[in-house]
A and B are shown apart, each in its own frame.
Chain A
Amino acid sequence: MKRLEFRAMNCQMLAVLDREDAPVAEWLAQVPLWFADWEQRLSRFRMDSELSQLNRSRGQALPVSSVLWDVAQTALKAADYSEGLVTPTLLRALEVAGYDRSFSILQASGQPSGAPIHLQTKTSTAVRDWRTIEWSSYPRSIRLPLGVQLDLGGIAKGWAAEQAVQQLSLHGPALVDAGGDIAVSGPQADGTAWPIGVTDPEGKTVEMLMLSEGGVATSGRDHRRWQKGDLWQHHILDPRTGQPAQTDVLTVTVIAPTTCEAEMAAKVVLILGSRDGLHWLEAHPSFAGLLILEDGRILCSRRLKPYVWS
């Protein structure tokens, strides 16, 4: 088993190929290049990215690459599935909340700038907007209505993990971890599941999940947060209020058939809180989840048990 760690998309990445042959290192070395290409297309923090160009298109249809097309489609499907709880159209609200530059820069510069705003008004517009986005399949183009901008954030990481693991799997059993959003191609070479730890905010492993297929993702308000005035903000916005989600859940880990679905489901549960979030998980048979609450309790959905190492 060979591993390669690198940074991309402002996150720590890991690519694993469960083979010992000499060319494995060469194959793994390709992965950071793929991520660099995807980041250049999908980052909202790069003014020259394809996404930034789309966000500046001022209501005009813009031809887009297959990468941006796929990720945007995935993000809009997530919005449909979650009935708008996870939507890519919260960019303006995120910027207003202070998340107006990459998190590494936020950390370096202290508190982000941002004038006091009326989040409620602006965000309610954003929530309505995801269905107003127009796209054409041939040639591929997207038209954002005026005032609508996209943030593909977590979905982009999940999508990248899926794409990378799919390409690596041509050479053998593979796992790709994109900042906590993890995709596996299938079981390990010996037929066993991949052991994946779930950590609490202090970094202590609280559970060991065994994953043979699909993906797992964690969403949390334990790390990417900042202070604005007297209030702590975090990057998981509740589209119903336009403000950082007020929830008793600190982190949510979800196992799903795909990493993007896991990413979406984890955000839904985080926003809904422990009671409604667990009900939502139980109502969706494709998902299994683990919640770490603010008071330290750990709750699991009923379908998690087959995935827990014992």
Chain B
Amino acid sequence: MSKSPSKKRPSSATGLKWFISASATVATLIGWQAFAAQESVSVVAQQPQPQPVQVPAVQPSPAIRQPQAVSKASPASSLYKQPKVKTPVVRSTLRHRPAPVTTTRSSR
């Protein structure tokens, strides 16, 4: 019976290489994690500030701008709603308390 080639035990040098390689891998992984963490922070920091939403002024179509031209029976009329605008109350004259021409008081 022929002697099967015995498995060659890894030498200590090989083990050392393996250890170094494994350590490097672990270090790399740790490094990537740290990098990823840094990236996530920097991403947060670089997020653009929310901008006010610019709502374009609604420009009703000429037909809608003149709702009276649309027949009430038309389906379009039900789509259009006159915006409720609070009209400020304006007095015809300002009611400032007038400055007195003089004052009445006991004899001075």
Contact = CB atoms under 8 A, between A and B. Distances in A.
B104 A197 contact: yes
A198 interface: yes
A195 to B, nearest CB: 4
A79 interface: no
Contacts of B97: 208, 309
Contact of A218 (B99, B100, B101, B105): B105
Nearest to A198: B104
B98 interface: yes
Interface in A15-52: 16
A90 interface: no
Contact of B99 (A14, A195, A209, A251): A195
Contact of B98 (A179, A208, A216, A217): A208
Contacts of B105: 180, 198-199, 218, 220, 223, 251
Contacts of B103: 180, 196-199, 205
Contacts of A181: 104, 107
Nearest to B105: A180
A224 interface: yes
Contact of A196 (B102, B106, B107, B108): B102
Interface in A165-218: 175, 177, 179-182, 194-199, 205, 208-209, 216-218
Instruction: Label chain A's interface by main secondary structure.
Output: strand
A221 interface: yes
Contacts of A195: 98-101
Interface string A259-302: 00000000000000000000000000000000000000000000
Contacts of A123: none
Contact of A175 (B101, B106, B107, B108): B101
Contacts of B100: 195-197, 205, 208
B5 to A, nearest CB: 119
A46 to B, nearest CB: 17
Contact of A157 (B98, B99, B107): B107
A159 to B, nearest CB: 14
A12 interface: yes
Interface of A: 1, 10-12, 14, 16, 154, 157, 175, 177, 179-182, 194-199, 205, 208-209, 216-224, 251, 253, 309
24 contacts: A10-B107, A11-B107, A11-B108, A16-B102, A175-B101, A177-B102, A180-B103, A180-B104, A180-B108, A181-B104, A182-B102, A195-B100, A197-B100, A197-B102, A197-B103, A199-B105, A205-B100, A208-B97, A209-B104, A218-B106, A219-B106, A224-B106, A251-B105, A253-B104
Given A11-B107, A194-B101, A208-B97, 6 more contacts: A10-B107, A11-B108, A16-B101, A180-B103, A196-B102, A219-B106
Top 9 nearest A-B pairs (CB, nearest first) are: A220-B106, A197-B100, A197-B103, A195-B98, A218-B104, A179-B107, A177-B102, A180-B105, A223-B106
